Amino acid sequence: MENLWIGIVSLFGDPIALLLFFAALVAGLLFAALPGINMVTLGAIILPFTIYLEPSQAIMIYGVIYVAGTYGGAVMAILFNIPGSAENAPTALDGYPLTQQGKAGLAIGAAIVSSSLGGILATILMMIAAPKIGRWAIHAFGPPEMFALIFFGLNVAASVGAETFWKGWLSVMLGLLLACIGTDPAGGLTRFSFGTYYLLAGIHFIPLILGFFAISEVFVQGEKMVTLKYKAPKVGLTFPSFRDFWNMKICIIRSWILGFCAGVLPGIGATLAAFLSYNEAKRWSKHPERFGKGELEGVVASETANNAATGGAMIPLLALGLPGGAITAMMISVFMIHGMEPGPLIMVRAHALVWELFVAMFLANLFIFFLGYLETRTVVNLLKIPFRLLCPIILLLSTIGSYALRNSLFDVWVMILAGIAGYFLRRSGYSVAGIILGVILGKIGESAFVKAIIIIDYSWLGFFDRPVCAVLLVGGLVTLGWNVYSSFRKRSTP
Amino acid sequence: MEKNTFWRIALVLTLVAVFALPATPFAMEKPNGFPNRPMTMIVPYGAGGGSDQLARAMATALEKVVGVPVKVVNKPGGSGVAGLSDFFMARPDGYTITEHIDDAATLYASGVIKENPSEDWYPACIAQIAFSQIYVRPDDKRFPDWDAFVKYAKENPGKIKLANVANVGSMERVVTSLLEDDQGIKLTQVSFDKPAERYGALVGGHVDALFEQPGDVRPYMESNDMKPILTILNERPKAFSDVVCLNDIGAKFKPLFRFRGFFIRKDVPKDRQKYLEWALKTAWNSDEFQKFNRKKYMHLINSYRDIEGGKVLVEETVETYRKMGVKK
């Protein structure tokens, strides 16, 4: 409680800090709302300027951007099928269909409330138990557990957004294949690089997301324009009621737990959190067939989880100095720029700074609730822009977003090719979300596997000597078996 | 008398030279106004890592010397290869320089890149040269020191898991195999490409030891989560006087270093090369950069090289890797 007070005083006692807080909040929301140009871009742009700030202010800004950006990505995912980053991809699966049904307000309202709620609960838990959870996580989760979790996650990937079980798995396999391109994580040997330096770095998932979702959507809508079937979506401003949320309380709690836990694990983070809880929402739902066609619960599940993960991700960073993603890695740089060594002692040595960050993240989540409400009233009107004007804007922004990733034109070509491929894949019932998750999980999963198999001395049974690992692997196998069984049963009784 | 004056003048000149050389930033004139627009510094590694931190510290110091903004651009991927394509594609006018590390030598020795990092492109400044250490957990009862470590490794060949960045032909892998041969032990190397995972694996108990440079794990030593049991240097450096070094354990190989520097292309005009060499050296000598480098333990051994010194360092490294049979 005393700590909390320190945090509040240092944030509110400093007018500049307060000003920066709001600037970061608005900038995070805006940057996340532009496709491809997300909070990571914003973070990279402001990094050199943080040297002129107090360390506590600089770190606080990143925490706020992280929170605001994770929510902000949902808006474009819902309105235009352009997820700002990978963790908003499952939001688009149901959010965009809702928009097309004229229920954009409903979807965005749900995203706001669930993001805010997920984030607030996560920051509270972070304040209570950060050091303990951090220690526990790195002891309990080594490379074998990481691999087992990814294996479990792949099953999830296969059941998200595809027409049939088999098409889902084919989509994931394609993603895994794409993940093989580049430098292998075991010995640094090159695979499928065809002698170009560009392919050595592998295919990044950001241009894939922009291509598969945004570009292919431009094609789909363009086709409708040409065939005169295009209908502009109605602008819906109905907000979800308290009752809507009360009915989804179990889903919210489940997604929050999944999100927080996934966030704590370095390297797993918000993306898997969002996909996992989307899938669990679908699995436990009474109407799983509604998912992917505009089920509000899908939006709620993924947005609760990805914002809960932001709180989780701070734990390994602050308790142990271990960053889990791009934004947390930049926070390490900020510490360094100011001559502080992030590590296990940061919570002791920079006590006030850490608590100011906690308070700022808590407030940022709270403000999303109010700002988001205002934002929705205005941002939904973007849907009124005629498609013939919107289409080039989307193409332009996606191109910038792909280029900005590594400042390389190669990624723009990847995006265009993914757009064309995505158009055909989506038409034939394959899941572009599955492919993207395959790419992301394929890279982390292979890297975890090669370490794990060395650690357990190349004995496959070694995976089952570790309890957490065994539970996850068995869970994955059971899910897989069940899905195969039910897809055969469906086929035999048409 | 004659002789005396000669010696006196000589002494004065020497003293002036000694005091003036490292300190005087007597401004070198810009060759034909170069640079007069912002410069680009490519970092072929991700934001937040050791290379990125170094590049940003150097860019800040360099801006003050050259008087134009220095823009840091991260182009990570493929052990430092992905950024190189842009470096080689940019115009050789000296406005684009790239940060790179000893991986450059690995990449060239193993044939992944064709451009020789001591001829076709070379360091205008080596800014960090770091020695490595082997770390264990302080509460690990099995091996409190190096002797116990070797004893345990001999009794349990391959049982000790050592976390490092064991890309084929990397400095880490080469040094570890030299160490294994020399001490007659067998370790199992587990390659972790991300530093955070590498440190977490040791602290979390998933591996037994870690191969790393002290500047990167300083906080974990201070919090007593890691402790060094071997310094891979011939002599004990002052800051680690209680840790055994190569001479103490009778090792007969030359230590290899992790080095980081700033590279230019050979087709950059010579006067601009000279200017960049001077500017980077002046920036390196600046107080703020020295403060940064000190925190990374870079003051324990001489960690600066100019163009000539840098070329020699890279060349020697490539040669060692070649001898070790580093192949693609």
How confident is the model over B267-319, as pLDDT tens digits? 999 999 999 999 999 999 999 899 889 888 888 888 999 999 999 999 999 98
Q: 């079937």: which residue's tokens?
A: A229
Residue A137: DSSP 8-state: H
Q: 């099995």: which residue's tokens?
A: B142
* % of chain A at pLDDT higher than 70: 97
User: Which of B60, B190, B202, B296 is the mutation pick for testing A, counting most A CBs within 10 A?
Assistant: B190
Q: 């400095």: which residue's tokens?
A: B171
CB atoms within 10 A of CB A131: 14
* Per-residue pLDDT tens digits for A369-379: 888 778 777 77
Tokens at A210, concatenated: 């922009």
Angle at A84 between CA A405 and CA A378, to 5 degrees: 135
pLDDT recorded at residue A128:
84
Contact A198 B82 (CB under 8 A): yes
Q: Given a cut of 50, is residue A64 above it in pLDDT? A: yes
Residue A50: DSSP 8-state: G
Contact A157, A434 (CB under 8 A): yes
Contact A343 B207 (CB under 8 A): no
Residue at B76: amino acid letter:
P
d(CA A187, CA A70): 34
Q: Cα A345 vs. chain centroid, distance in angstroms?
A: 29
Q: How far is B61 from chain A (nearest CA, A)?
A: 12
pLDDT recorded at residue A492:
66
What average pLDDT does range B61-73 have in this prediction? 90
Q: Given a cut of 90, is residue B94 above it in pLDDT? A: yes
A470 touches chain B (CB under 8 A): no
Closest CA to A147 of A473, A479, A494, A415: A473
pLDDT recorded at residue B78:
66
Instruction: Supply the mean pLDDT for chain A.
Output: 85
Q: 């709270």: which residue's tokens?
A: A366
Q: Given a cut of 50, is residue A205 above it in pLDDT? A: yes
pLDDT recorded at residue A34:
72
pLDDT recorded at residue B151:
96
CB atoms within 10 A of CB A250: 11
Tokens at B130, concatenated: 């770091």
Chain B residue with minimum CA distance to A323: B196
Mapping DSSP onto H, E and C, the string for B249-313 reads: CCCCCCCCCEEEEEEEECCCCHHHHHHHHHHHHHHHHCHHHHHHHHHCCCCCCCCCECHHHHHHH
Closest CA to A272 of A83, A436, A401, A82: A436
Helix (H, G, I), strand (E, B) or coil at A430: coil
A447 touches chain B (CB under 8 A): yes
Q: 């330096």: which residue's tokens?
A: A197
A347 touches chain B (CB under 8 A): no
Residue at A376: amino acid letter:
T
Residue at A383: amino acid letter:
L
pLDDT recorded at residue A292:
84
Residue B126: DSSP 8-state: E
- Compute the half-sphere exposure of residue A445: CA atoms within 13 Å on the CB side of its CA: 21
Q: List phi, psi (to 5°) of B130.
A: -120, 140
Lowest mean pLDDT among A247-261, A361-375, B298-312: A361-375
Contact A44 B79 (CB under 8 A): no
Cα distances (angstroms) measured from residue B57 to each of A51, A53, B51, B257: 10, 16, 10, 21
Q: 């000296």: which residue's tokens?
A: B94
d(CA A246, CA A289): 21
Please, is A55 exposed, middle or buried when counting C-beta atoms within 10 Å of its C-beta (0-12, 13-18, 19+)? middle
What average pLDDT does range A388-402 have in this prediction? 86
What average pLDDT does range A155-167 have in this prediction? 81
More confident position, B62 or A7: B62
What average pLDDT does range A158-180 have in this prediction? 88
What average pLDDT does range A426-437 have in this prediction? 89
pLDDT recorded at residue B247:
94
Q: Given a cut of 90, is residue A394 above it in pLDDT? A: no
B328 touches chain A (CB under 8 A): yes
Q: What residue ranges define each of the domains in chain B, with the CATH number in brackets?
A: 29-129+261-323 (3.40.190.150), 132-240 (3.40.190.10)
pLDDT recorded at residue B2:
52
Q: Given a cut of 50, is residue A468 above it in pLDDT? A: yes
Q: Given a cut of 60, is residue B16 above it in pLDDT? A: no
Dihedral of the alpha carbons of A418, A423, A425, A426, in degrees to the nearest 10: 120
Interface of B with A in 242-271 (CB under 8 A): none
Contact B86 A344 (CB under 8 A): no
Q: 């984030």: which residue's tokens?
A: A119
pTM: 0.81
B109 touches chain A (CB under 8 A): no
What average pLDDT does range B323-327 have in this prediction? 66
Q: How far apart are the first and last CA of chain A?
A: 61
Contact A18, A11 (CB under 8 A): yes
Which member of A142, A186, A341 has the closest CB to residue B201?
A142
B85 touches chain A (CB under 8 A): yes
Closest CA to B106 of B214, B257, B215: B257
Q: Is the peptide bond before B35 cis (omega within 30 degrees of 0)?
A: yes
Q: Given a cut of 90, is residue B141 above it in pLDDT? A: yes
Interface of A with B in 119-158 (CB under 8 A): 138-139, 141-143
More confident position, A193 or A405: A193
More confident position, B262 or B199: B262
d(CA A303, CA A301): 6
More confident position, A449 or B165: A449
> CB under 8 Å to A18, separation ≥6 — which residues?
A11, A12
Q: Given a cut of 90, is residue A470 above it in pLDDT? A: yes
Contact B306, B313 (CB under 8 A): no
Q: 């158009």: which residue's tokens?
A: A423
Angle at B320 between CA B317 and CA B322, to 5 degrees: 110
Lowest mean pLDDT among A16-25, A346-355, A420-429, A438-447: A346-355
Beta bridge partners of B36: none
Q: Cα A147 vs. chain centroid, distance in angstroms?
A: 19
Contact B47 A44 (CB under 8 A): yes
Locate all alpha helices (DSSP H) within A233-345, ordered by sequence. Answer: 242-247, 249-264, 269-284, 296-320, 326-337
What average pLDDT does range A436-447 have in this prediction? 87
Contact A186 B52 (CB under 8 A): no
Give the H/E segment covering residue A8. helix A2-12
* Per-residue pLDDT tens digits for B106-115: 889 888 888 9
What average pLDDT does range A420-424 have in this prediction? 95
What average pLDDT does range A217-224 have in this prediction? 88
Q: Given a cut of 50, is residue B24 above it in pLDDT? A: no
Contact A266 B200 (CB under 8 A): yes
User: Which of A336, A348, A459 is the mutation pick for testing B, counting most B CBs within 10 A?
Assistant: A336
Q: Given a cut of 70, is residue A1 above it in pLDDT? A: no
Chain A residue with minimum CA distance to B69: A48
Q: 């691999």: which residue's tokens?
A: A147
Q: Given a cut of 50, is residue A439 above it in pLDDT? A: yes
What average pLDDT does range A49-72 have in this prediction? 88
What average pLDDT does range A445-473 have in this prediction? 90
B221 touches chain A (CB under 8 A): no
d(CA B328, CA B322): 11
pLDDT recorded at residue B48:
64
Tokens at B293, concatenated: 């480098």
* Per-residue pLDDT tens digits for A307-359: 999 888 888 888 777 777 778 878 887 887 777 777 777 777 778 888 889 89
Band of the pLDDT at A493, cuts 50, 70, 90? low
pLDDT recorded at residue B160:
95
Beta bridge partners of B133: B212, B231
